[in-house]
Chains A and B, each alone.
Chain A
Amino acid sequence: MVSSAEARQHSSLPQEIKNKIVIEELSVGYSDGTESLRDVSLAIPDHAITVLFGPAGGGKSTLLRTMNRLNDLADVISLSGHVWIDGVDILDPSVDVISLRRRVGIVFTQPVVLPMTIRQNLTYGLELAGERSRSRLEEAVEQSLRAAALWEEVSDRLDDPAIALSGGQQQRLCLARVLALEPEVILLDEPTSGLDPISTGKVEASLQELKEHYTFVLVPHSVQQAARTADYAAFILDGQLIEYAPGKQIFTNPQDQRTEDYVEGRFG
């Protein structure tokens, strides 16, 4: 655990906060020669929303996808550094990726509902995890839909194909699907970029309500959203972590000139 303590010193966060994820000198390169992340170190606290923001192509999604090893499916050729979750380095090849992904859920930019009914979309992950009890599955369906602010809209048509839902509903279904698995960490990759303001508001409100039970890592689709939702915010530019601080501080009084320029809309 020496190394996770070292990593903690890279960040400017107070030491007493419990860090759920500690990223240490993470570098990722893709097979087409592009380098996506360079020496990123970051400590992400529990029970809060940590926002990763910055211009497109900066490596935010890569960082997010590394945290549940979904990047294993991409053409990554070089990977160095560590990602500690609860003190375990999840980049270690011996880590059970399947159970890791159950603990670290993800919601994508485009809502990806599986070609099944609404109910099956929610129970699929649980069934994969070995849950067989009908009543417990039913309970999970209702709870997760309520938590994602979708229950009122779909409770009477749970057996309709999930594709039938509107874009906003699909995205909340994807959030509910992740919640149903009761993960510890939830990664959100621009979850509201395709949604109207009302749906966006609903999703953001759900996040605020749920954050006492989870660790959220959010890539927002705008600086405004970052400012609205962030408890902590990391500014990422060209694969590097420029600045990391509590949300209030970074959006009102950024320390780095580049952060200030970006937050005030001078580029990006």
Chain B
Amino acid sequence: MRELNWREYITTRLIRACGYSAIIFVGLIFIFLLREGSPALVEIPLPSLFSSRWYPIEEYFGILPLISGSIVVTIGATLVSVPLGLSTAIFIAEIAPRWAKEILKPLVEVLAGLPSVMLGFLGILVVAPFIRTATNIPTGLTAFTGALILGMMAIPTIVSVAEDALDAVPRTYREAAHALGATEWQTIWRVTLPAARSGVLTAIMLGIGRAIGETMTVMMVTGNAPVLLTGLESLFRPVRTMTATIAAEMGEVATGSVHYHTLFLIGITLFLISLIVNMAAAGVVFRQRKRAERILS
């Protein structure tokens, strides 16, 4: 009896320590980022920080081209992956016969685990040359190429999570809609999708999160030129994202230099952007849940 109590005590303590350490690690990472990145705000005057020229060797530290590069590639990837991913999820969950479903679902999940370097290869060897010849531009390593490849990367994540959400919608909902004379498509669009809304939204956010944080692939296929986007035609020019900049330059920067601090500042910006995206998503889901709770009480 006494021994049991003792074991119980140790186990709960251990689990609690694990839980707290996760919080502490996140906090430490953030503090480290702040400590290394914030000096840049003092060392570089704000106007030049938000200028459009990134050329650290000559002390030009404008981070706008990097931010715009990240945003454009991410939005492009979202535009590619969300419609395709959702349609695939709907196909697997609602339309495909059972045997096809049993093959497709694991296949998609294997795709989700594909190392990003391999997709980078695919981008450099297949997609980029194709885009170069198809649109007759000097290089195929462009923002568009990056968006395309990143979109393909995000699709499996979106499909897998969204399919789970659709699958969890009770069969009775579908029966009820069919009983009212809804066709297959009307049932999906007006009943099944709205019922699975929060899960589908999570899927999209995870997909976007994957795209915005991706480094290796974008380094390989976007051409890495830190140029501010000026219009639609710059979609077909090389860009450079925040992640690629950090990865490419961190190795050769002098610790404690202005350049070093600026790279960390970019890290903070990236951190904030994904925080905002995640909070926005959580906010939407939370609002819905609160609504549901209010309704159920």
Contacts and interface: CB of A to CB of B under 8 A. Distances in A.
Q: Which of A106, A114, A181 has the most B CB atoms < 10 Å from its CB?
A: A114
A181 B182 CA distance: 12
Contact of A125 (B172, B181, B194): B181
B278 to A, nearest CB: 25
A212 to B, nearest CB: 23
Given A112-B175, A114-B173, A115-B195, A98 B295 contact: no
Contact of B175 (A73, A98, A115): A73
Interface string A105-134: 110101010111000000011001100000
A102 B173 contact: no
A95 interface: no
Interface string B184-196: 0010001100110
A108 B179 CA distance: 10
Interface residues of A, number: 26
A181 B179 CA distance: 11
A70 B295 contact: no
A98 B173 CA distance: 16
Interface string B167-180: 00011111111111
B234 interface: no
A258 interface: no
A128 B180 contact: yes
B179 A68 contact: yes
Interface of B: 170-183, 186, 190-191, 194-195, 291-292, 295-296
Interface of A: 68, 70, 73, 98-99, 101-102, 105-106, 108, 110, 112, 114-116, 124-125, 128-129, 161, 163-164, 174, 177-178, 181
Given A101-B179, A108-B175, A164-B295, 9 more contacts: A73-B171, A101-B180, A105-B179, A106-B179, A108-B179, A112-B176, A114-B173, A114-B191, A128-B183
